[in-house]
Amino acid sequence: MKIVDLKATTVSVPLEAPLRHSNGEHWGRFVRTIVEVVTDEGLIGLGEMGGGGESAELQFQGLKPYLIGHDPFDLEGLRFKICNPTASLYNNRTQLMAAIEFACLDLIGQSLDLPVHKFLGGKLRDEIPFASYLFFRYESDDGLYPEVRTVEQLINHTRELKEKYGFQTHKLKAGVFPPKYELEAYQALAQAFPEDSFRIDPNACWSVEQSIWFARQIEDFPNDYLEDPTWGLNGMRRVRENTTIPLATNTVVVNFEQLAQNVLHPAVDVILLDTTFWGGIRACIKAAAVCETFQLGTAVHSSGELGIQLSTMLHLGAVLPNLSFAIDAHYHHLRDDLIVGGKLEMVNGKLKVPEGPGLGVTLDRDKLAHYAELYRKLGSYPYDRDSRRKGWYPLLPNERWADPEE
């Protein structure tokens, strides 16, 4: 089996409402690039990458000379072709590699008539638990989804998600309002749902001192972990030395050199593996093995996935013996998906591991065309801007946050 073509299509898929975070907001939609790898046997493997537009599509087109004629089974050779890990000046293609790897694993599975998890070690679980992903958000433009700004609104929103999807773990995206206000919100969540567990992530926008203060206020809560309260391995190490709460990251340990440093000089307790950021499912499995060896916790991070990448997260979660926590996912915020059958159904806070050949999902061509056209109409958006707060830029630690009652 040989690769004969590569196609990349950027799409814009609507969210229920614009989600706010410390760097700006998701402007009511996710922009993703869908990758199709075509073989001489007529099989098509699916991949997905965050972001997109002309630049992403051109980057994938630039990979075609490396891919044409390559056997999808030869993934290590492909990694050297794309990422060139022996020449660090050119090793800037990790996320591109991830999307191609997804597609090649999908092709291998289709060729063998096996689900991906079957040839990545075999699944250890049939269902994967997920955490609700709680955002402060703006009201949707069509008025169907209300804002989440006050503590009461946050509690109501969490209750609705829990009733609809069955979540037993909740993650609050912080860094939008002052830390004291977000502490009040986090405390209220823990009191409202005493049977559940919690985690909070301000996207590293707090100073070390703010992070230590916040951590000490919540040490008696049922916390999974405190995620990226501040920036950098040294900053995280200082926080870790001053709290009993495990620290987690998806920003400062995202490759093997950083993982080695964290083993030698611990700064983070839980590594949040991301099938895109780490360069594919296989890289995440390798990293998880290192974490198992050195008794670091592991979980799976969400980078704003559609159904294709979500399936890679499910196959990864299925084969990891040391998956310590419920998986993160933005998925429940989506209004639609590009896969046949629409959004995967979550029951009791869990998703079933796909059992079809390859990734186990099929592209809905009509929806691909529809959301590609929506992207051409709306275009991209700056991630580090807030469309409803004119002139807003990401805050530095100790700068003034907006009053949540404004």
DSSP string, 250-286: SSS--SHHHHHHHHHS---SEEEE-TTTTTSHHHHHH
Q: Any idea what the Cα angle at residue 176 is, between residues 392 and 382, rounded to 5°? A: 45
CA angle 86/92/98 to nearest 5° reads 95
Cβ–Cβ contacts within 10 Å for residue 320, how many?
25
Residue 269 has a CB neighbour count (10 Å cut-off) of: 19
Per annotation, catalytic residue among 123, 301, 315, 330: 301
Which of 26, 173, 315, 330 is flagged as catalytic? 173
Residue carrying the six token digits 């996320």: 95
Dist CA 138 CA 388 (whole Å): 9
Q: DSSP string of 56-121?
A: HHHHHHHHHHHHTT--TT-HHHHHHHHH-TT-GGG---HHHHHHHHHHHHHHHHHHHT-BGGGGTT
* Catalytic residue list contains 352: no
C-alpha 354/C-alpha 121 separation (Å) is: 15
**Active-site residue 173, yes or no?**
yes
- The answer to whether 18 and 38 are in contact (CB under 8 A) is no
Active site residues: 173, 301
